Amino acid sequence: MKDGGVESSALVDRAGKHCAAMRGTIYSLTRVLEPPAGFEAQAPYFLALVELEDGQLITTQLTDVDADAEIGDQVEMVTRKLTTDGQRGMIVYGYKFRPVLK
Amino acid sequence: MRVSIVGAGMIPVREHWSTGLGDLAAEAGELALRDADLKQVDALYIGNAYGAAFNQQAQLGSLIAGQLGLPGVESFTCEAGDASGGAALRAGYMAVASGAVGSAMVIGVEKATDIVGPARLAARNVSLDADYESVNGATLAAMAGLLMRRYMHEYDVELSQFEGFSVNAHRNGARNSCAMFRNKLRSGAFVKAPMIADPVNLFDSAPDGDGAAAVILVNAELAADLVPRPVAISGSALASDSLMIQDRIQPLKLPAVTLSTAASLKQAGLGLSDLDALELHDAFTILTALSLEAMGYSDAGRGWEWAQGGGERIATAGELPLSSFGGLKSRGNPAGATGVYQAVEAALQLTGRAGENQIPGARHILIQNMGGLGATVATHILSATGE
């Protein structure tokens, strides 16, 4: 810590902390049949808590999955479109997780 | 200073399409003033979660003070998601207990049904983490579904084993004229209800409703002169946890429930066995099971056992009465108002005014109001005074 300052890591803890691992296992999952605005076109979809290899849980949609996805399944991170910000707004990209390709 | 409730009022939880947000609040506030036979209070604390998101309305403190005819009164909103009502009660308690004000009115109000479907769910998502949960299409029900699915997996529990929580809530709500859904729930119907976010279904989750409830708090010495049987606030606590489930080391624990329960019991000088009834935040049955475990009523993975046998153990005449006026499930969940409904219902119980819902001889009732999936938990213990 510098004089009168705060160590930067204490201020930016959130940034990037969930990207330490690209693979994990499904800790829990649910099939969302009543989506919030912006996600109607995708419903029903799977939302999951994935336990990454470094132990961190992450809230994410599953993609490229069948109805038989289960707790304990291995999944990996991919980049996907999440939603569109209104009818003419920006496309929001982010991460989703899919079953590990055999 | 010790703090007492000397007035309480609530309006039925409904779809109040023809009544504005401020009018709903003022109706409840007037009922509470009449109950206490007062015309004026020193301060007004509003519990409201989604006024800005649902109704494009903030500054409810000023709005509602104006509608109640309390010019100049100290008045502002307390927001903590669905725990906003409990947070406002906590604010009112602290203000009176400290001596900063002599009397306070706490009003919980929400007008949820102006918008419906996906728009309402998106508005309600302001209670989740915008960057890591809502952006991925999460909803409160989906997050509850994630907890419930994991719980059922870890402890080998079936969906049907949660049924008794909802059956009990509707059995009690059927006798409450202020309840939103007064139908009884037939055994077996629970597991067949339409899914929302599996395993969370329609009969598992509480309905959003419009409502307002109010209580009036004064210091205990003054209370004795105002009403024959004031209700004491013998314990008051609020605790927080990570906003997101993903940041919790043990997602099936609810530490804010544990902390606020322990703090309120300690303040009241009571143990769990002294409590005659509980109003828990039964927005989803999994929250009731997890709360009972976090409070110490059950070991981990066994909270669901309270719901067995058709919910008779948790009925108003049972071993541990829950949701005596229907809880969130049947009375309805008017979000930021819910915590104040719990206070009004407990006050009615403790003054022998609960009618058909009366819990015989209730002296101490714990009420617990939760924001998100355990991110904020306000816990109060209300106690009867006199004989």
Give residue-wise pLDDT tens across range B225-281.
Answer: 999 999 999 999 999 999 999 999 999 999 999 999 999 999 999 999 999 999 999
CA distance readout (Å), B97 to B6, B24, B63, B217 = 15, 28, 26, 10
CB pairs under 8 A between A and B: 108
Residue-by-residue pLDDT tens, chain B, 387 positions: 899 999 999 999 999 999 999 999 999 999 999 999 999 999 999 999 999 999 999 999 999 999 999 999 999 999 999 999 999 999 999 999 999 999 999 999 999 999 999 999 999 999 999 999 999 999 999 999 999 999 999 999 999 999 999 999 999 999 999 999 999 999 999 999 999 999 999 999 999 999 999 999 999 989 989 999 999 999 999 999 999 999 999 999 999 999 999 999 999 999 999 999 999 999 999 999 999 999 999 999 999 999 999 999 999 999 999 999 999 999 999 999 999 999 999 999 999 999 999 999 999 999 999 999 999 999 999 999 986
- Identify which of A94, A49, A33 has the alpha carbon closest to the alpha carbon of residue B118: A33
Indicate the DSSP class of residue A100. Answer: P
pLDDT at residue A87 above 90? Answer: no
Q: How far is B118 from chain A (nearest CA, A)?
A: 4
Q: Do residues B333 and B327 lie in contact, with contact meaning Cβ atoms separated by under 8 Å? A: no
CA distance readout (Å), B240 to A26, A29, B59, B87, B255 = 27, 25, 24, 11, 8
pLDDT at residue A93 above 80? Answer: yes
Q: Do residues B69 and B33 lie in contact, with contact meaning Cβ atoms separated by under 8 Å? A: no
Question: Residue B237: CB partners within 8 Å, gap ≥ 6?
Answer: B90, B259, B260, B261, B263, B264, B267, B378, B379, B380
Is the bond preceding B228 in cis, omega lying within 30 degrees of 0?
no
Disruptive mutation site among A18, A19, A27, A34 for chain B (greatest number of B CBs within 10 Å): A34
pLDDT at residue A12 above 80? Answer: no
pLDDT at residue A5 above 60? Answer: no
Is the bond preceding B207 in cis, omega lying within 30 degrees of 0?
no
- The token duo for A89 is 């707004």
Chain-centroid distance, C-alpha B323: 10
User: Nearest residue of B to residue A95 by CA position?
Assistant: B136
Q: Buried b vs exposed e over B357-378: b needs ≥16 C-beta within 10 Å? A: bbbeebbbbbbbbbbbbbbbbb
Q: What are phi and psi of B217, to 5 degrees?
A: -110, 135
B356 touches chain A (CB under 8 A): no
Cα angle for residues B1, B365, B222 (degrees, 5° grid): 30
Neighboring chain B residues of A60 at a CB cutoff of 8 Å: 136
B145 touches chain A (CB under 8 A): yes
Where residue A66 falls among pLDDT bands split at 50, 70, 90? confident
pLDDT at residue A13 above 60? Answer: no
Q: What average pLDDT score do residues A48-71 get? A: 93
- The token duo for B121 is 């769910």
Q: Do residues B192 and B186 lie in contact, with contact meaning Cβ atoms separated by under 8 Å? A: no
Are the Cβ atoms of A28 and B246 closer than 8 angstroms?
A: no
* pLDDT for residue A19: 55
* pLDDT for residue B106: 98
User: Nearest residue of A to residue B119 by CA position?
Assistant: A37
Where residue A20 falls among pLDDT bands split at 50, 70, 90? low
Where residue A43 falls among pLDDT bands split at 50, 70, 90? very high
* pLDDT for residue A17: 52
Neighboring chain B residues of A36 at a CB cutoff of 8 Å: 118, 121-122, 124-125, 134, 137-139
Instruction: Please state the CATH superfamily assignment of the domain spanning residues B3-116+206-384 in this structure.
Output: Thiolase/Chalcone synthase (3.40.47.10)
Neighboring chain A residues of B248 at a CB cutoff of 8 Å: 57
Which residues, listed in sequence order, are joined to residue A93 by a DSSP beta bridge? A81
Domains of chain A: 10-99 (2.40.50)
Where residue A89 falls among pLDDT bands split at 50, 70, 90? confident
Indicate the DSSP class of residue A55. Answer: S
pLDDT at residue A102 above 80? Answer: no
Q: Which three-class secondary structure state does DSSP give residue A2?
A: coil
pLDDT tens per residue, range B5-40? 999 999 999 999 999 999 999 999 999 999 999 999
Neighboring chain B residues of A37 at a CB cutoff of 8 Å: 118-119, 121-122
* pLDDT for residue A2: 41
CB-neighbour burial class of residue A49 (10 A; exposed 0-12, middle 13-18, buried 19+): buried
- The token duo for B209 is 């409703």
Binding-face residues of B in 250-269 toward A, CB within 8 A: 251
CB-neighbour burial class of residue B64 (10 A; exposed 0-12, middle 13-18, buried 19+): buried
Whole-number mean pLDDT of chain A?
A: 83
User: Nearest residue of A to residue B130 by CA position?
Assistant: A59
Q: What is the dihedral of CA A51, A54, A56, A57, to 10 degrees?
A: -10
Indicate the DSSP class of residue A10. Answer: H
Give the ipTM of the model, two decimals please: 0.95
Binding-face residues of B in 2-31 toward A, CB within 8 A: none
B245 touches chain A (CB under 8 A): yes
- The token duo for B238 is 């609020």
* pLDDT for residue A67: 77
Q: Do residues B103 and B41 lie in contact, with contact meaning Cβ atoms separated by under 8 Å? A: yes
Q: How many residues does the structure list for chain B?
A: 387
The B231-240 sheet, strands edge to edge: B74-78, B43-47, B103-110, B211-219, B3-10, B231-240, B376-384, B364-371, B277-279
Neighboring chain B residues of A58 at a CB cutoff of 8 Å: 132, 246
- The token duo for B130 is 């915008």
